[in-house]
Amino acid sequence: MNEGEERSLELWKNPAVVGPIVAALIAAVVAVIALIPDSDRTPPPKPVIVDISRVSGDVTQLVLVYEGGGDGDSGSGLKEVRLWYRLSNDDRWTKTRRASTAPKGEIYFSEPQESGLYFFDLVAMDQAGNKSAEPTGTDGQRRFQFQDRVKVEAMTTGKVEPQQQGVEAILSSAEPPIGWAQIPVYFHMVGQEQVEDSATMQINEQISVLNRAFFPGKIAFSLAGLDAVPASEWNELSPGSTPEKEMKRALSKLPASQLNVYVTTTNGGILSWSTFPWDLTDNPDVDGCVMRPENLPGGDPPFDQGKTLVHCVGHWLGLYHTFQGGCEGPGDFVEDTPAHASPNFGRPVEAAACKPDETAPIDNYMNYTDDSVQKGFTAGQYSRMRKAIAAYRMKLL
């Protein structure tokens, strides 16, 4: 060993020289490892959506309130909480641009163009690139149902047909009954092999919702029956379609003396539809209401309080929409429901009516606002329904 080699060896034996070099090397290695996602690390906890609400105005969107993003056990810090969504008929999840960097907070989601039932979930990521579990399946995720506004408005805002004049003449001269109207309700759960206990509880609550809504009009409801109908060809129905008529003719029970409710999936984001009382005599087999199972009480926001069937039964007892015909003509033939040009959606605070001194009845069951907004019928609407029962559904008395 020559003199230079001996001097180098002496330097490496000196702690004052070696210590800083080793420390620097260790720090560099740790920094590199921190940048590489490591499956052995604890990922950040999965955030949970604790609340979901809809806001309306110039922009309609959802507000998803979440908590539990956390920093993860690695202590590397929360980088983002990202919102994911998918349609119920599509297994693919879409990652939105909507993200937050707080472990608790709100994320906004603008209403999509396509109607249907949407699932929402959140994924957290820390600074090291570790992710919480990505969305899979449907358990534990929050749901929200959007209507197809254009299609709904096109189907429901037309003017009253000429033959309605004869109906209105009959209703105007009808004497409303003195006592209570009793309406047995038979539910057909289409596309189900059996009626689960959870569905039975929903149906019982639905009957309670109907009774609370129609009580001021002396109209009472009771459960007449409940059956499961496995037939899949009666799913994804459209109003007036051949499958709808076939379904009703096969399942209808005593249409003149009770209400048949067909609970099945529908096309086009339509929540429900109904026949009118003056159609009963000529077409008894197709009488009744069709509604989606997601809109029974406890279903999917914002139509999760059973108000969808209240709205539908309003039609079944002779009511039109409060916006019927817009600002032209007789509207809904009820004097105490201010006419307004178009439906109201979401959760508006106030909306304009046709007359400058009036406001649209945004809380009326026959409007299109969210269930949480709808509160009741007017005295004129109760009177019209009772007259319709006397004139066209006498067996309910």
The per-residue pLDDT for range 95-121, each reduced to its tens digit, is 998 888 888 899 999 877 778 889 999
Whether 171 and 235 map to the same domain: the answer is yes
85-89, 144-148, 252-256: which has the highest mean pLDDT? 252-256
**180 or 16, which is more confident:** 180
Instruction: Tell me: do 252 and 209 sit in the same domain.
Output: yes
Percent of the chain with pLDDT strictly greater than 90: 59
Amino acid at the residue 3: E
Last residue in a domain, options 97, 125, 146 = 146
Are 185 and 279 part of one and the same domain? yes
Q: Is residue 247 part of a domain?
A: yes
Give the CATH number of the domain where residue 314 resides.
3.40.390.10
DSSP state at residue 253: -
Structural domain contains residue 34:
no
Please give the Cα distance from 338 to 24 (Å, whole number). Answer: 78
**Mean pLDDT for all residues in the chain:** 86
User: Does residue 43 sit within a domain?
Assistant: no
119, 146, 173 — which closes off a domain? Answer: 146
Does the residue 81 lie in any domain? yes
106 and 153 fall within a common domain = no
Domain boundary among 113, 146, 179: 146
- Look at residue 17 and tell me if it is in a domain: no
CA–chain centroid gap for 159, Å, is 28
- Residues 374, 334, single domain; the answer is yes
Tell me which residue range forms the domain holding 82.
Answer: 48-146
d(CA 31, CA 136): 33
- 0.85 exceeded by pTM: no
- Based on the fold, state whether residues 239 and 310 are members of the same structural domain: yes
> What span, in angstroms and rounded, lies between the C-alpha atoms of 115 and 254?
34
Rounded Cα gap, residues 241 and 316, in angstroms? 19
